Structures are given as structure tokens and as C-alpha cells.
Structure 1
Amino acid sequence: MEILMVSAELGQHARVSAAADSVSALAKALRQQGHSVTLALPRYPSFEGSGLLLARRLSPLVIEPGVEVTVLDGQLASGVALVLFDAPAFAEARPIFGEPGTPEGEADGARSALLCRAAVAFVRERKIQGRAVDVVHLHDWAAAPVAALLARDGSPPTVLTIHSYGERTFALDGLGLLGDVVHEARARVNGAVSPLRLGLLHAGAVTAVSPGFARELESEPPFRLLRSPILGVLDGLDYSIWNPATDVALESRFDAHDPSNKGRSKTALLRTFELELEVERPLLAVLLGSSDPEGTRVVRRALPRLLDHDLAILVAGARDPETLEELEEMKAEYRGDFAVFPSTDDAAFRRLLAGSDFVLTARRRVPSPLEELAAARYGALPIAFASGGTLDAVVDADAALETGTGFLYDELGEEALLGAVRRALSAYTHPRFDALRRRVLRRDVGWDRPAHR
């Protein structure tokens, strides 16, 4: 099958959200299953900066009289074909996700429209060349209008995948390049046009990145337009990257059959961050990078009380100055028990997971629980708020540790969070804890099954 995927972000080349990794990994998995996969994106300067070799086509792709894009062809290491659309609108060193209400954010409407028109022109060109696309897979609002544009051709069928909450709207003139599809009354929100709704109205199928997320979306206003339920398919991890048995970034590799070398990764973390070298003491990684402001506030209030327990804590992903200042003060106060993990590098993040016994997250809305899946993949049991996609990734462990894959709390509050951590610490001393960790390590959280769906 010939599959074209249209997205505004991709892997490490143009990453704004978890969608970037999802698009990259899914494309690779589909190719491994025998499909021919092409990824179409704007050409950002970051692509060349990442070392990709690109070939510029001699003839531009004409969108309409006076509007054209240059096409560059490339190939990812996975063998997936890459098509980049080059135009002055894409020359900024950022993907199509500016802050709403800012000049950059308002410019995203025109950039999205250009991406969509270029993708449609590419599909039509392939058909003329005798290499017709069988299905077009669109990712999030920036690519969603492609479904409305292709609906007029009658083919190929389109699938729209939703990766995140929220809806962007733009003035009519900001999306002028889309033509008269913007006059669809059901795509209007307070006089502005929603690219997402244009996709929802015309896509052949709509999917979300987890079943729990799909259930939550169905109550949101844009998704009430749908005639069929949203299909929730849980994201997976790319095992060529997320694999503690082969990961060269780790101090020592391990797997479910022999997780003992996980202790060497833990020792390395304790030494690096000058924590007490007590390997038998539980190490808790707290991930604030994806936390919403509410979750961050809950964690900040809970941290001093967590440190009343016999454990070491590493906090990663904090960004705002106020939180960082508070964490540095705690680091001085709780020296040897508390440290701040500064890196956002993927390899460093995997080392954090490999050395941790537990990973704590705190966010109310969870489209794709990739952090929880990654933690489990590296033998760090997740402690998470029971919401959205988290419920698809984490099964709350029972007191005897005979079932479950982590620890859930059902209120995003300090007491509930503390209760879940205490249950995890109690489990750490249970005779069946090693069996629980092995069970978590054996879970299949790869892309094979999601890609088949």
C-alpha cells in the first residue's frame, strides 16, 4: 500500500510535541510491515542541521498561478521516503506551532494552508505519474484541511489522527489559500475558521493516540461533528531506540530475564548527582516536562513531604524560573537526597529511566502516555494520575503485587499523590517486587500491534 503521511513535525528533526516521535515511529513500523511510506512536511532549516541529505527537484510544485513550492526529496534512516516543501513561509526555524494570539501564532494559519495545498498538489502529481497514493494519513490540526481538499477529488481516502487537546482558529484571510472550503459553516467558531473541524468533517476515519484520550475527546465541541466514534489506538515506542537490552547510552544493559544490571545504571546516577550512594534505597524520578501548571503545583507542594521518606529524588524537566529556583533551594536543603536533572537530551533521559525505580508524573490530561510507557520499558514503575491515555498504559498494582504495572492516583491533589507514592515505596520492600518489575519489563509496548490497526 502507498501511504502518504502529512505532518508539521517529525522526530528529532522538527519536534514540538510527542506527535513528532509518534509520526516517525509509526512511519517506520508501517514500512517494516511492507508498506511504501512517504512523509510530507514543510522544509525547516533544522532538517539540514540534522545531517539529512536532500535532493532539490528542478521543477517546482505549482499550487495555483503565482504560488509554488520547491520540493526536496530525502530518506530517513528507517527507509521511509521524505518529501519537504520549501517556501519562504517555512524558512523560520520553528515548526507550525506558534503561541496563539501572537504574530507568529497567527501566521501559522497561512503556513498550515500552504502545507495542505502542497500535499494535495503532490497527491495529484503522483496520480498523473501513475504512482497514485492509496491513503493519506493526516496528523493534527495543521494537516487536517487536506481531508476537505481531497474530498472534492473523491480519492484517495484520508485518516486524521489527533495527538493533542486544543483547537486553533484563524481569520478567513489567514487561510485564504485553502479556497472556498473555508466557507464550510460547521467549521466556524465565533466567525473564525477551525482547520481541525475541516478535517473532522471530511476525513474518512478519525483516530486518537490512546483509547482513553478518544473517550475524552468525544465530549469536546469539535468532535461532536463526527458521525462515527473516534478510534483510539495506543501509541507505542520505537524499539530501536527504547530498548534497555541494546541501548548503548546506558551504563550497563539489561532486560526482563536479567534486570540486575539496572543497579549499575542506578549507581551511576547517584554518583553523577552526588546523591547518597545507597543503592538499596528507592530512587524516584519526577518528570515535570509534560506536567501542566496544576500538576507542577501539586508536585511542588508534595516534594518536602515526599522527602520525609527514605528515598532519593531526581526532578527532571522543570522549565519556569520560579520552579527552578525553588528546586535549587531544595537541592541545597536536602543535599544527598534530592537533585535536579537538567538535561533534555533523549539519551540522558533514557539513562534517568534506567537508573530509577519509580517515575512520577502529574498531569490532568494525557493524550499519549509515552513517558509512562518509556518508564515501564526501562523498569521504572510509573506512578501517575488516572486520566486519559494513562489508563491504557498503567494498571494499578494490587497490594499483593500479583497484578498491575504501576501505581495510580485518582485525584490530582497532594494527598492522593502522596498516597500513591507511599504504596509504591511499600511495594519496593515486598518480596514480589522483583517479579512485578520483570512483568513490567516484559510488556509489549512497541509499534507492531498499533501499526497493524
Structure 2
Amino acid sequence: MRILQVSAELFPLLKTGGLADVAGALPLALAEAGQAVRVLLPGFPAIRAGTTDLREVAAFNAPWGDHAVLRAGRIGTGANAIEAYLIDAPALYDRPGNPYEDASRQPYADNARRFALLGFAAAQLACGIDPAWRPEVVHAHDWHAALAPAYMAFDATPGPRVGSVFTVHNLAYQGVFPPSDFAGLGLPPAAFDVNGLEYHGQLSFMKAGLYFADRLTTVSPTYAREIQTPAQGCGLDGLLRGRSGVLTGILNGVDGSVWNPASDALLPHSYDVRRRGGKTLCKAALQQALGLAIEPDAPLFVMVSRLTEQKGQHLVLGGIDALLAQGGQLALLGTGERWLEDAFRERAAAAPHAVHATIGYDETFAHRLFGAGDVTLVPSMFEPCGLTQMYGLKYGSLPLVHRVGGLADTVVDCTLEDIADGLATGFVFDRFDAPGFDRALRRAFALYRRPADWRRVRNTAMQRPADWQAAAAQYVGVYEQSLA
């Protein structure tokens, strides 16, 4: 089957969150399963720089007049190579820094057109703009690509029908714009309707994908149920309930070629379930590098996350005193809301031998944190899937999570019975509040003081299946349904 994956970012070229990891891993897993996969990406500088053998496929104009060139090339080499299309439109994409925001962290004023072009180019490929390759299914990821199903739904170009699939990675980020931005997008007036892109008088890219795609998916079974409720539906729960018959929750996987402590070149020492000594050495090396006290018996809590209240960092801030009082250490990597950045900096300055905060994002440092950590903190208010806890599981850094979304699907609490049954993999709390977080924290310390049980749980966590093959097979089933 010829499948076009449409995304705004792709690891390892451009990454601001888990979307890039999925966009980079899923095409490879589908190709391994025998599918003919290509990706379509905006021509951001980092993506252009990482795409080789670029050649022009076709020139075209956006509905509002901007000129663009569709180019084809290759990302990666050998078995990890991905055939890629690149939208070359420098006026829209050739900007430094974050692909979505300016230097002041404000969304670019023309984001509606920048990402409408991504959907429009996907629809052009569905219509045969590349005479050498035409997809049978277009799979659009998140709001940035969500206009692709809308453009496809209103296109009258003769030819075979092309199926459309839309995946919600995080319903909270919807791509909502003023209604004035609808003009010029090239969609008929009928598209700006309650049964279409209109959302409380605004223009919603996310709603376009949810309404017009043949099939819908999201990134965990629990999140698929949650987004159909008022509590987590972000105002779109009614639409999602109405389309529940075409909605599937497919749990993300982990790319074992990138995330594997036994072969991870970014770690100072490798390790696995049978050779655990490397993890102890990774912890000591990180403690020394960060200026933390080199204490092998002090449990090291790590957090790699966007700094937002959604991610539950205020719970972590409120629990630092208890964490330190029980002999723990905390190492953080993240960027986001200024008040959270400043608060973690202050806590690190007040206890430099026990708390370290790195503001920003560094892929190598993220690997080192998982490699060194004993506990990975993911106390999110909501979490569609979450890859952080899955990396923690893989690296034997037991996740401490709120029972929600993909966190609920991937982490089993350390109850006595689940430890006895060999099922426990981390620490889970139910109520999103300080007492719930504190009790989970205390359970982590209690288990850490029982080394034999800790090793048993850690071994279970590290051996939890998390490959992309099972997810890829489910996606193929959804693609087939989109063509029915």
C-alpha cells in the first residue's frame, strides 16, 4: 500500500516533542511491514539540511498565491532511509529557531497559511501532482497537517479515491485561528460551518481533521476514550462521540534503534537487564557532571518535559522538600513557562548538591538522564500517550505517573500483588493533587529501600514490550478501513 505520512516535524531532523519521534519511527516500521511509505514535511531549515538528493517534482501555487516547489529526496541512509517530499517555500518556512514561534515565543502571525500549505500539498499529492508516485492513503498528524483531509474532501479531480487518516497527538493544541484567516485558503464557503472548520466562530484546523478524515486515531486506547468526555474533549467531545465508530486508540511504540541502553552511544556506559553495572556507572557520571553529591544510595529522580502546568510540574515543585528530606536527588531537563523555569532554577540554586535544572532541550542529555535515573517523573494532568515514561521503562528508570491517558496504559503500580505477580513497573497515583503525588513519591522511596524488590520491578519494566511493529500492524488495518 502506498502511504503518505504528513507531519510538521520528524526526528532526528527537527523535534519539539513526541510528535517528531512518532513521525520518524512509524514510517520505518510500516516499511519493514512491507508498505510503500513516504513522508511530506515543510521545508524548515533543519529539514532541508537533513534531506539529501533533493530534486524538483513540481511547482505549484498556494490558493492565496504564494509560490512553492515540491521536492523529493531522502532522509537517512541504508535500512533507516525514508523517502521524503519537501515543500520548498522560503517565505513561509525559512525562519530561524522554533518552527511555530518567533524569538519572543509568540506564534507566527501567518501560521494558518504556513500549515494550510502543508495540508494543501498533501492533497495535491493525493491528486497526482507527482506522476511517478500517488498515495493510496494520506495520514495526517496533528493540527499542523489537519487541513489535508478537508482539501481532499472538497477536491473533484478525477482519479482513484484516496483514503484519509488523521491522528490526534494532543487535543489541547488545536490550531485555532481568527475566522478572517479562512479567506484565501482555497476551501469553499461550505467548509466554514459547524459541520466543518467552524469552532465557536473561529477557524479550527484540528476540527477539520476530525470532521473530514475517513478514519481517526489517537495515541493510546485510554486517551481515545477520554477525549470523548467533556473533561478531556477540549470542546470537541461531541464531535468525537459522533465519530467514535471510526476512532481507534493505537499506543505509540519506542524506536529500539534510538532508545536502547544496551547499544545507546549517547550513554557513557551501556547496560541491560543482565548487565546492570553500567547503570550504576551512568548515575555516578551524571552526578559528577551536574555537581550532585555522588551518592549511589540516593535515589535519583529525573524529569524530561515541557514545563507547563499540564505536565504536573507544580506537583513536583511542591514535593521537592519531601523528596530531599527522604534523601533523594532531582535532575530536570525542560523548557516552557517562564515561572516554572524560574522556580526550578531557584530550587536548584538553593540545593545545588541535590537539585539540578537544565533549561532548554538537549537530546544527548535526555538520554543520559534516563540512563542515570532511578525514577522518571511524569505526573501529567493529561497525557495522550507519553513517550517519556516509555523511555524510562526501557532504561530502568521507573516511571512515577498520574493514572491518565497513555500513562495508564503503560505503567503498572507497585502494589504488593502486582509485584508478586511480576507485573509492577512503576508508581501510579489516581487523584491529580499534592497528596496523591506525595503518596506515590513515598512508595518509590519505600521500594528503593528494598533492593531485591526494586531490581525485580526494574527488570520487569525494562523487558516490557514497546516495539513499533504491533502499532504498525494496527495502522495498516486503519488504512485498509479508510479505503473501504
Question: TM-score with structure 1 length normalisation?
Answer: 0.91
CA–CA distance in structure 2, aligned partners of residues 352 and 65 of structure 1: 46
CA–CA distance in structure 2, aligned partners of residues 251 and 434 of structure 1: 21
Counterpart of 1:84?
A: 86
Counterpart of 1:370?
A: 387
Aligned counterpart in structure 2 of residue 118 of structure 1, from 117, 121, 138: 121
CA–CA distance in structure 2, aligned partners of residues 183 and 328 of structure 1: 46
Counterpart of 2:181?
A: 174
Q: Secondary structure at the match of 2:405?
A: coil
- 1:308-354 CA-partner distances (Å, limit 9, x unpaired): 10222223325555444444443344343333345621121111111
Q: Which piece of structure 1 moves more, 443-452 or 218-227?
A: 218-227
1:283-294 pair list within 5 angstroms: 283-292=300-309
Q: Is 2:51 the counterpart of 1:37?
A: no
CA–CA distance in structure 2, aligned partners of residues 322 and 195 of structure 1: 30
- Deviation at 1:260? 2.6
Counterpart of 2:270?
A: 253
Q: Any conservation in 1 of the 2:305–2:311 contact (CA below 8 Å)?
A: no
CA–CA distance in structure 2, aligned partners of residues 111 and 323 of structure 1: 30
- 1:41-82 CA-partner distances (Å, limit 9, x unpaired): 211122234x43252417413556955421222211122111
Counterpart of 1:190?
A: 200
- 1:385-440 CA-partner distances (Å, limit 9, x unpaired): 11112101111121362231110111222222111011011111222221111111
- Deviation at 1:251? 1.6
Q: Any conservation in 1 of the 2:168–2:217 contact (CA below 8 Å)?
A: yes
Amino acid at match of 2:468: W
Q: Is 2:440 the counterpart of 1:438?
A: no
Amino acid at match of 2:42: P
Counterpart of 1:222?
A: 236
Amino acid at match of 1:159: V
Amino acid at match of 1:344: Y
Q: Which piece of structure 1 moves more, 232-241 or 51-60?
A: 51-60
Q: Which piece of structure 1 moves more, 40-49 or 145-154?
A: 145-154
CA–CA distance in structure 2, aligned partners of residues 260 and 43 of structure 1: 44
CA–CA distance in structure 2, aligned partners of residues 311 and 103 of structure 1: 37
CA–CA distance in structure 1, aligned partners of residues 311 and 368 of structure 2: 27
Q: Is 2:438 the counterpart of 1:418?
A: yes
1:401-412 pair list within 5 angstroms: 401-402=419-420, 403-412=423-432
Q: Closer, same or farther in 2 for the Cα pair 1:170/1:335, shift >3 Å?
A: closer
Q: Any conservation in 1 of the 2:341–2:359 contact (CA below 8 Å)?
A: no
Q: Closer, same or farther in 2 for the Cα pair 1:231/1:410, shift >3 Å?
A: same
1:242-281 pair list within 5 angstroms: 242-281=259-298
Aligned counterpart in structure 1 of residue 139 of structure 2, from 125, 137, 152: 137
Q: Is 2:456 the counterpart of 1:449?
A: no
Q: Closer, same or farther in 2 for the Cα pair 1:343/1:71, shift >3 Å?
A: same
- Deviation at 1:8? 1.8
Q: Closer, same or farther in 2 for the Cα pair 1:146/1:328, shift >3 Å?
A: closer
CA–CA distance in structure 1, aligned partners of residues 87 and 348 of structure 2: 47
- 1:280-330 CA-partner distances (Å, limit 9, x unpaired): 332121345354267222221211122110222223325555444444443
CA–CA distance in structure 2, aligned partners of residues 427 and 207 of structure 1: 37
Q: Secondary structure at the match of 1:317?
A: strand
Q: Which piece of structure 1 moves more, 301-310 or 9-18?
A: 9-18
Q: Closer, same or farther in 2 for the Cα pair 1:269/1:294, shift >3 Å?
A: closer
Q: Closer, same or farther in 2 for the Cα pair 1:5/1:342, shift >3 Å?
A: same
Q: Any conservation in 1 of the 2:147–2:208 contact (CA below 8 Å)?
A: yes
Q: Any conservation in 1 of the 2:310–2:382 contact (CA below 8 Å)?
A: no
CA–CA distance in structure 2, aligned partners of residues 322 and 5 of structure 1: 37
Q: Any conservation in 2 of the 1:237–1:446 contact (CA below 8 Å)?
A: yes
CA–CA distance in structure 1, aligned partners of residues 178 and 330 of structure 2: 47
Aligned-CA RMSD value? 2.5
Q: Any conservation in 1 of the 2:376–2:399 contact (CA below 8 Å)?
A: yes
Q: Any conservation in 2 of the 1:256–1:439 contact (CA below 8 Å)?
A: no
Task: Note the residue ranges of structure 1 that are not aligned, 5 or more in a row.
Answer: none
Counterpart of 2:482?
A: none
Question: TM-score with structure 2 length normalisation?
Answer: 0.86
- Deviation at 1:16? 3.0
CA–CA distance in structure 2, aligned partners of residues 283 and 345 of structure 1: 19
CA–CA distance in structure 2, aligned partners of residues 117 and 227 of structure 1: 24
CA–CA distance in structure 2, aligned partners of residues 136 and 361 of structure 1: 32
Q: Closer, same or farther in 2 for the Cα pair 1:31/1:372, shift >3 Å?
A: same
Aligned counterpart in structure 1 of residue 165 of structure 2, from 134, 143, 159: 159
- Deviation at 1:217? 1.1
CA–CA distance in structure 2, aligned partners of residues 413 and 185 of structure 1: 36
Q: Closer, same or farther in 2 for the Cα pair 1:291/1:371, shift >3 Å?
A: farther
- Deviation at 1:132? 2.9
CA–CA distance in structure 2, aligned partners of residues 207 and 179 of structure 1: 24
Q: Closer, same or farther in 2 for the Cα pair 1:243/1:103, shift >3 Å?
A: closer
Aligned counterpart in structure 1 of residue 252 of structure 2, from 226, 231, 235: 235
Q: Which piece of structure 1 moves more, 255-264 or 163-172?
A: 163-172
CA–CA distance in structure 2, aligned partners of residues 323 and 12 of structure 1: 27
Q: Any conservation in 1 of the 2:430–2:436 contact (CA below 8 Å)?
A: yes
Q: Which piece of structure 1 moves more, 409-418 or 12-21?
A: 12-21
Identity percentage of aligned residues: 27
Task: Note the residue ranges of structure 2 that are not aligned, 5 or more in a row.
Answer: 475-484
Q: Secondary structure at the match of 2:127?
A: helix
- Deviation at 1:94? 5.8
Amino acid at match of 1:170: F
Q: Secondary structure at the match of 2:401?
A: strand
1:323-362 pair list within 5 angstroms: 323-342=340-359, 344-362=361-379
